[in-house]
Structure 1
Amino acid sequence: MSIFLLGAGPDAEAFPEVFDLFAAEAALRAAPGRSPRIAVAVHDSGGAPLNRLPEYAGPLQERIACDVVPVLLGNGGPADPAAFAGVDGVVVGGGLTPAYWKGINGAGHAIRDMVAGGVPYLGFSAGAMVAPEQALIGGYRINGIEVCGEECSEGLADLDFRQGLGLAPFAVDVHAAQAGTLSRAVGAVAAGLVDHAVAIDEGTAIILAAVDAREYTVIGAGTCWDVRGRAGRGPGLGGGAAVVTARTAEPARN
């Protein structure tokens, strides 16, 4: 079982590896003679989440014969936890992180139990951000100081951390190099809002081998920026300290 957290939305042509790996794990989870069932949770800011489903389901169905269980967020309330019962894989799409959190957090215990039991999880952008225990939902200021562009705020002013799905022990930010959100992750750790954050570039993913695993593997073409607090942090953004380590995919071995 693996937890795949991506720094952007789905792009099966530019970044096929993550679909390949997830599909293979979902197929292994299914009982012999049965097609794997994969729950795909999607939200659409225009109110038509069904239109977003092919972006995620299509690449999986091209790789394996599977039954897709649509979990359409924003249509009539939060997701029913029963929608994830008995699935062989869970996919959570990208878009507005607050909307994904609102739609899926009520099913968090069901998802965590499934993943802890060996079901692979694939989170794109917002689906990666809501996955941790402490989920970064949005925002662009800490104590009135801007730490990233307002266009990355998702409609929130101050950085907002909420109870997430509980799959990772560190916070996750996405579109790091492309949208400049690395500074938001650094600011969050320096201010003591979280002790550990990982900011993921587009075209890049981290893979955890188990729920709450502190170590991870990097795949893709970009960088994962590992941000950890340093002893001696003071209160507020100005008195804090953070250590940033840039991690990239290990080269393939012949």
Structure 2
Amino acid sequence: MEIFLVGGGREAKAAHEPFVRACGGGPIVAYALDDADLDVARWESTLKDAGATDVTVVPVSPARPPQAADLQGAAGVYVAGGLTPAYHETMVAGGTEWLDAARTAGLVYGGFSAGSAIAAEQAIVGGWRTEFQQRTVDVIDSDLAEDLETLTILPGLGLVPFLVDVHAAQWGTLYRLTHAVLATGIEGWAIDEGTVLIISSDGTPTVQGIGAATHVRRTGPASTAVTVVS
């Protein structure tokens, strides 16, 4: 299964084009959270601006989670952005039969912001502070913490084995990701807006778009190695 993880951003045409090409011109089903901020036209135009011709936006919520039947005949499945804890509740905790169907059908997966974060085996869903070396430290501005105080990592979709954080350069989430890597020992990627981290079917990562993605791995109890890929 090819995986395309976009770091967010309104100017994201270049980041979406590789996903759309991988779908081979086939239909794309886009899941978007059905809340007060739902903008169906935004997600349709985002994908069509990148070359898609057949896009169906399916609003989802805990009351109406994604269903396997939604993906009948699709070439790709796309999970949009918004409040990450709400996407996690809907797309992961709400049941993953839809994902089983996508895997079985060999669909291409595209995630945007929240849709990228929850793709991980262990998903960073929000939070702005954590415990480090027996004290509490701030890891991001509290206004960007997605309504969570403590750095929160929950089981995700399991599409990739590493942690994912998004809006890296724009929100400063690389620092939060670094603490998540130190806490869990799991490597991670922080993805800039307008940028896509592509994971091929053999697990090879590449980066395209207007920004960069930063790989972080733990090298000791309080140290990491950081590699920027653009």
TM-score by length of 1: 0.79
Question: Which of 27, 32, 43 matches 1:37?
Answer: 27
Q: CA deviation at 1:60?
A: 3.3
Question: Which of 172, 176, 194 matches 2:164?
Answer: 172
Q: CA deviation at 1:22?
A: 2.1
Q: Is the 8 A contact 2:62 2:90 kept in 1?
A: no
Q: Secondary structure at the match of 2:23?
A: helix
Match of 1:159 in 2: 151
Question: Which of 180, 192, 203 matches 1:201?
Answer: 192
Q: CA deviation at 1:181?
A: 0.8
Match of 1:229 in 2: 218
Distance 1:78 1:89, change over 3 A: same
Question: Which of 167, 182, 191 matches 1:190?
Answer: 182
Question: Which of 13, 18, 29 matches 1:16?
Answer: 13
Q: Deviations over 1:135-162 (max 9, x none)?
A: 1111111123211111121111111111
Match of 1:246 in 2: 228
Matches within 5 A, 1:9-88: 9=9, 11=10, 14-27=11-24, 36-46=26-36, 49=38, 52-61=39-48, 63-66=51-54, 68-74=55-61, 76-88=63-75
Question: Which of 202, 209, 215 matches 1:220?
Answer: 209
Match of 1:252 in 2: none
Q: CA deviation at 1:168?
A: 0.7
Match of 2:89 in 1: 102
1:2 corresponds to which letter in structure 2? E
Alpha-carbon distance in 1 for matches of 2:227, 2:22: 29
* Structure 1 portions without partners, runs of 5+: 29-35, 234-239, 249-254
Q: Deviations over 1:84-107 (max 9, x none)?
A: 344211011111001111111134
Q: Is the 8 A contact 2:117 2:164 kept in 1?
A: yes
2:40 corresponds to which letter in structure 1? L
* Structure 2 portions without partners, runs of 5+: none
Q: Is the 8 A contact 1:109 1:165 kept in 2?
A: no
Q: CA deviation at 1:23?
A: 2.2
Q: Deviations over 1:184-217 (max 9, x none)?
A: 00111122x2411111111211000128x2x310
Q: Is the 8 A contact 1:116 1:210 kept in 2?
A: no
Q: Is the 8 A contact 1:115 1:121 kept in 2?
A: no
Work out the percentage of aligned pairs sharing the same amino acid: 36
Q: Is the 8 A contact 2:196 2:207 kept in 1?
A: yes
Q: Which has the higher contact order (CA 8 A, sep 6+)?
A: 2
Match of 1:120 in 2: 108
Q: Secondary structure at the match of 2:176?
A: helix
Q: Secondary structure at the match of 2:24?
A: helix
User: In the alignment, is residue 210 of structure 1 matched against residue 201 of structure 2?
Assistant: yes
Answer with 1 or 2: which has the greater Rg: 1
Match of 1:31 in 2: none
Alpha-carbon distance in 2 for matches of 1:5, 1:155: 23
Distance 1:22 1:110, change over 3 A: same
Which one has the bigger strand percentage? 2
Alpha-carbon distance in 2 for matches of 1:183, 1:116: 36
Q: Secondary structure at the match of 2:123?
A: strand
Q: Secondary structure at the match of 2:81?
A: coil
Indicate the RMSD between aligned Cα atoms, in angstroms.
2.2
Q: Deviations over 1:8-42 (max 9, x none)?
A: 14x4xx432333322222236xxxxxxx3321111
